[in-house]
Structure formats: C-alpha cells, structure tokens
Structure 1
C-alpha cells in the first residue's frame, strides 16, 4: 500500500510517543520487526529511525531500544524528565521526554539522502517540517490512525491508516 505513495529512497521517522497512544486506540500493538520488514519489502528503505523518551532505570525499555538497534533501526532517545506542577499538590507533576526537535533536525539534516519522507506520528507540530520537505520536492507520507492524526498533517501529506496494514505489522 505505501508503495503507491513513495518513490526513490525512503526514510522513515517514528515518533514513539505518538505511536504508543495510537496503539491504545487501535487495541493492538505494532511489531517493530514486522514494521521494518514492511518498509524493506515495499520501499527502497534508506533509513528508519525511532525517536523516544526513555527511563534509563527501566531495563525493559533499554532492552527494547537495544533490540531495535540490532535489527536495523537508528534509535535516538532522551532521558525522561519529571516536570513539577504545583497545582497537583506536593508531589505533583508529570513525566516528559520530548524528542520532536531531534526528529525534525535529523529529517532536515539527512534530506539529501532520501526522496520520500514517511512520518509515523499524527502530531500537528510536524506540519512545518512537512511543508519544508515538500519545498525540496520530497514526497511526504504520514502514518497514524484516526483520532491521533492532525488534520493539518493530512492536508499536507498522503495519509496511511495503520488499520489498512494491520495484517502485515500487528504483533501477535
């Protein structure tokens, strides 16, 4: 299905946080080995990169990131930070590990190494990046699911819903 939208060398950039919330809505999980195979089979894959926040004390997360690197992903992560919020009481706050800027910088930095840009995210913050890449004649595809993809992204790029490729990428 994606081969209808891409041409030439293809680079895939994965916003892990956004995918996590898409999986919750979908009710099934993505198998990242199968996802890699999907792109290898259906595109001329030049780069696949996974951007994520990580809790360095969480061994399961570290092992997952290590596995992704072993099978061929470029893995970029930032340590999760705790942001205090006084409105939440004495111990209130939330965890944050924003890595969107790193993804954007890499997409711009490596733009001469690909013809098609595939973004696995629905975050509207990436609209400017897609507009920028289109100015350099890049084909742009957004992969996400309804309810987790900004209309701004759908207007700027081809949209492929994970549901359409479930049989090829679902973790069993």
Structure 2
C-alpha cells in the first residue's frame, strides 16, 4: 500500500511538472513546451529531450500519458536509482552490521555472530544453520567478510528493486 501511495505521489509530481495548461493530463506537446521553457527556447534540445522522454514513457505512442505509463516510468526510475546506489547502501549496511555484531572486531562475522543478526530479527534464515555459509561465504573460510557481506546486501537491494519493478503500479 505504501509503495502504491509513493508511486501515486510521483505521478502527481510528474503531472504537475509537465502539465503546463493545468488540465490534469500530460501530452507530448506539454512535455515539449515544458522542455522548451526549461531550455531557454532551444528548439533542438527541447525536441530531443521530448523525443527521449516520450519514447520512454508513452508505450502505446498515442501522444498522451496514462497513469499506468507514468507510474511505470516512476517505478523504473526508482529501480534504477536503487541499483545505482546499491553499492554505497550495501557498504553502509555492512558497517552497521559489523558495529553491532562483530564482537571480536576482526572485520568478519563468524557463524555465531552472523546468526545473532537473524535472531535479532526474530528468525533464522534457514533450517540448516550453516546454509548461509554456502550462500554468502564465497571463500569458504567459515566467516563472512566485509566484501562478502557487501555483495550479499547489494544483491538483496537489487533483488528488492527488481521485485518492485516487476510488481509495478496498481492500475
């Protein structure tokens, strides 16, 4: 529900930014005029930008933008941002995790330390308590390193973005 509300707000912002005549709808001409204004009357640049944006959003090429088309554009844009920021966000996740669970401060999480993370969330990730080592511990040393954790968190963020994008808006 929260994701749909956020998508709705993004669509509203999109319409407000490009609906110059304030009729509540957006057409390719509205977008062109908006770009023309933002680009100080440069017809060539405004035409190019309009073409790119319209070909990205207007999936049925009718020159009008439906809620679903704009919402899909907003979801795809959010997915792209999540993917671009996944590396940095994953590093922040790892740092926070190490601060809290790396009891011996060796910049690795032992099996016991790693399982504490899941216990704190109220669940164990797998019935086989060593299963996470098979998935995350790429060098098979019995511990999860910073790099392994970062890759794991990054993958989880990208998987989440992909799931959001696949679900798309409720149209």
TM-score under structure 1 length normalisation: 0.23
TM-score under structure 2 length normalisation: 0.23
Larger Rg: 2
Relative to total residues, which structure has the larger strand share, 1 or 2? Answer: 1
Relative to total residues, which structure has the larger helix share, 1 or 2? Answer: 2
- Between 1 and 2, higher relative CO (CA 8 Å, sep ≥ 6) is seen in 1
